[in-house]
Chain A
Amino acid sequence: TDTSTRATMAAAARFLLRGAGLKASIANVNIGDQSLFGITLLRLSPNCSSQTKTQRRNAAHFSYHPDPVPTEYGPTTKMNLFQSVTSALDNTLASDPTAVIFGEDVAFGGVFRCTVGLRDKYGKDRVFNTPLCEQGIVGFGIGAAVAGATAIAEIQFADYIYPAFDQIVNEAAKYRYRSGNLFDCGNLTIRAPWGCVGHGSLYHSQSPEAFFAHCPGIKVVIPRGPVQCKGLLLSCIADQNPCIFFEPKILYRAAVEQVPTEAYTIPLSQAEVIQEGSDVTLVAWGTQIHVLREVANMAQEKLGVSCELIDLQTILPWDTETVCKSVAKTGRLLISHEAPITGGFAAEISSTVQEECFLNLEAPIARVCGYDTPFPHIFEPFYIPDKWKCFDAVKKLISY
């Protein structure tokens, strides 16, 4: 892994934090007066606004729309996504004395601020830095979980999870099975920042969920916003299986909404129908949900097409029932993800739906994904499956 780029990213994260004058407190998180709707990274980065136009980063390719304020879990506070992660970790450390959080640079608060304040509140034996070694981090986490602790490991970027691939695929995923349930590492959760970020290039942009989707024994979960993030992360931590939790890093600051301060869970392996519709089913996860939400609005406005939008949330084991039920109703399916198309998780969804809903399908299933290239730096706007690419796919689905 590349220390220099990571150090740069870390420095950038710290600079952004200071520049924005954001002070995250765990118990009570305040975001300031940034607009609730359509917050973009650009607006949240004051150091960018002074730069000339050609030097500006690309504007975000989506608009974030907060979820309705959840009422069933008690009092809420305005949080962005990184603060909702902190809140989930805070709840866990408070209720589970065995829980420990570790990884590269988590002690001072993490390069994305997800662990700010936790070390001071819970002690340095519970929130600590490890040596810079991903295979060690995951192996260490497995061992702690085997010995009965709740282990929450952080991999600094999903792009750097591959050195731990062996520990995840050969060890974590197979621990319970191979021992006949004598031993397990079900108390292990691996969190990692995920997805494109506008300028992350090859190694700060990746979406590696499909690599893990081929591995029985682990769960892979990706939230679309702060409310889902906290609820799903707490479910991962509580779940008695090793989980990988990918946090869309472009949403860390951009996504802001009211999040319950107390612990709550959102069930794993359940997709959520965010918007009901009758003509086309749109399936995505993470940031891409917000792209497809816009596409659904565009389709309604420009084409009079009614889209049903589904957030898959859990990649493995995934909710076939909700997706197939929707496609049986609409007869058309578009799946979209940032990751490259070949071997991407859309292929799995597509072939399953084709098997289950053959008689209902009125058009070939569409996959709008990243191209089969490494994730590029300056070409990111052309690479990502943005709303125009998805909109065009809807148009073709309808006119098939």
Chain B
Amino acid sequence: MATLNSIKNMYGICSHVIRQTTGLRAAKLIQQRAFRVNGALRQQPFDSSEEKPQFPGASAEFIDHLEFIQPNVISGIPVYRVMDRAGKIINPSEDPQLSKEQVLNFYQKMTLLNTMDRILYESQRQGRISFYMTNYGEEGTHIGSAAALDPRDLVFGQYREAGVLMYRGFPLDLFMAQCYANVDDLGKGRQMPVHYGSKDLNFVTISSPLATQIPQAAGAAYAAKRENTNRAVICYFGEGAASEGDAHAGFNFSATLECPLIFFCRNNGYAISTPTNEQYRGDGIGKTGSTLFCLGSRQLAFNLNNRSVCVRCEPRILCRAVAENQPFLIEAMTHRIGHHSTSDDSSAYRSVDEVNYWDKQDHPISRLRHYMTARSWWSEEDERSWRKQSRKMVMEAFEKAEKRHKPHPDLMFSDVYEEMTPNLVKQKEAMWRHVQQYKEHYPLDAYAK
């Protein structure tokens, strides 16, 4: 017992030093232990008949006075960054040392996404597509995290992660086909725009209900673990979606069932009009995760506006997720520069100055451009010609998509079940009998025959 107490005393004394080198979870444990020892020192330095709590629900010491654990929201989990706003690496030992080709590829994918966003946003304003959601300000989170993944890793997303697909090589034609819901759409024109999916690229089809993908990702990661193929699963969601019950479910299941899973929260400050102070009162989502379940020793909020950060750190976490069958949470602090969607005018609930700051002074694209320019990897001329080329590529895909027919109306009835049920066969036939009789009232010409 004496040994035990001296160890505890040592913890108390060394806790400061240890906290410097150990992960936050461990630090928190030590903090509590140190706290207990200090309390004991004040009242009773030594007690050989000390009782240990035997409760099955937690492993902890007794304390003999009432003290609430205060959440520290003033000084929260620090935001990890590798380069500053001017694209300068802050700590050389954290420099990911990416090759020129890699960085150019990241930059081009981010800007291509940006160009596509601008054109599709405008096309919605002109009524050419019914709906759109841009990715302004969050391009870095997509490309950076996607670059850290193995292409076989299964992606579950929310809807603002088009850059992940862009990075994996999803063709512009297919982005457009989905938004236009034309015959080329892999989803057969059934879902609203930006609800992308690709079996070949292991990107699970997006659905509108928020956070439903979170426990699903846990299930998929569990299945991947049993397959034993070293595949991980990544699951993206916004900080608003993290308030859903399904987020709680997914975090908890992934921890208790030991799933190789990366939770990637895009904390962009808003859920439509709702600012984060109306979304949660803790220290962001990272802390929510740490109080709900043990994510392991490394919990960091990443400033992924600094894109290369992600590439620096995520492979490490991914490797651990796979090797240790443990979920990890990355909270990427960012800002939603665009409107929530084309059905939203964000000037109704936030200032133009705020948006301008993020757009002009702290944007993932401009930051990476500074980084490239400083290394003479990118010139004004390169920028101009790439802008022109990417715009041309997007416009070509756009015009091509617009000209295509919509899918055959029969496709309204298939895939409800794997097989076509007799009931659906009857309803399909009834629809055609009706449409043939009243064909002048239906837009048949726009659809494939």
Interface residues of A (CB under 8 A from B): 98, 100, 125, 128, 130-131, 133, 135-136, 138-149, 151, 163, 166-167, 170-171, 174-184, 186, 216-217, 219, 239-241, 269, 317, 320-321
Contacts and interface: CB of A to CB of B under 8 A. Distances in A.
Given A140-B218, A179-B205, A147 B418 contact: no
Contacts of A186: 418
Contact of A171 (B197, B212, B220, B233): B212
B250 A177 contact: no
B298 interface: no
B195 interface: yes
Given A135-B249, A139-B246, A142-B216, A180 B190 contact: yes
A100 B222 CA distance: 10
Interface stretch (B94-102, B132-140, B181-189, B375-383): B181-189
Nearest to B205: A179
B24 interface: no
A151 B257 CA distance: 15
Interface string B124-135: 000000000000
B418 A131 contact: no
B257 A139 contact: no
Interface residues of B, number: 49
A309 to B, nearest CB: 23
B256 interface: yes
A142 B221 CA distance: 11
B230 interface: no
Interface in B248-288: 248-250, 252-253, 256-257
Given A125-B226, A135-B246, A171-B209, A143 B215 contact: yes
A130 B220 CA distance: 15
| B185, B188, B199, B216, most chain A CB atoms within 10 A | B216
A130 B422 CA distance: 38
Contact of A130 (B156, B185, B256): B256
Interface string B206-221: 0101001011111111
A130 B253 contact: yes
A143 B219 contact: yes
8 contacts: A125-B226, A139-B249, A143-B215, A147-B154, A175-B205, A176-B416, A177-B415, A179-B197
Nearest to B261: A143
B223 interface: yes
B176 interface: no
Contacts of A133: 245, 248-249, 252-253
A147 B223 contact: yes
A139 B204 contact: no
Contacts of A183: 197, 199, 204-205
A139 B215 contact: yes
B421 interface: yes
B187 A166 contact: no
Contact of B416 (A128, A163, A177): A177
Contacts of B191: 178
B198 interface: yes
Interface in B136-186: 154, 156, 185-186
A170 B219 contact: no
Interface of B: 154, 156, 185-188, 190-191, 195, 197-199, 204-205, 207, 209, 212, 214-224, 226-227, 233, 245-246, 248-250, 252-253, 256-257, 414-419, 421-423
A321 B204 CA distance: 38
Contacts of B217: 143
B20 to A, nearest CB: 34
B418 A241 contact: yes
B152 to A, nearest CB: 12
B190 A177 contact: yes
B417 A136 contact: no
A170 B211 CA distance: 12
Given A133-B252, A143-B221, A180-B205, 5 more contacts: A143-B222, A167-B215, A180-B185, A180-B186, A180-B187
Contacts of B218: 136, 139-140, 143
Top 5 nearest A-B pairs by Cβ distance?
Answer: A143-B219, A139-B215, A136-B249, A143-B216, A179-B205
A178 B214 contact: no
B250 A139 contact: yes
B421 A269 contact: yes
B211 to A, nearest CB: 9
Contact of A178 (B190, B219, B250, B423): B190
B417 A241 contact: yes
A96 B222 CA distance: 16
A160 to B, nearest CB: 14
B415 A131 contact: no
A128 B219 contact: no
B253 A131 contact: yes
B416 A216 contact: yes
A143 B248 CA distance: 16
Contacts of A317: 417, 421-423
Contacts of B245: 133, 135, 163
B207 A140 contact: no
A141 B253 contact: no
Contacts of A175: 205
A320 B257 contact: no
B437 to A, nearest CB: 20
Given A100-B226, A240-B418, A140 B215 contact: yes
B253 A181 contact: no
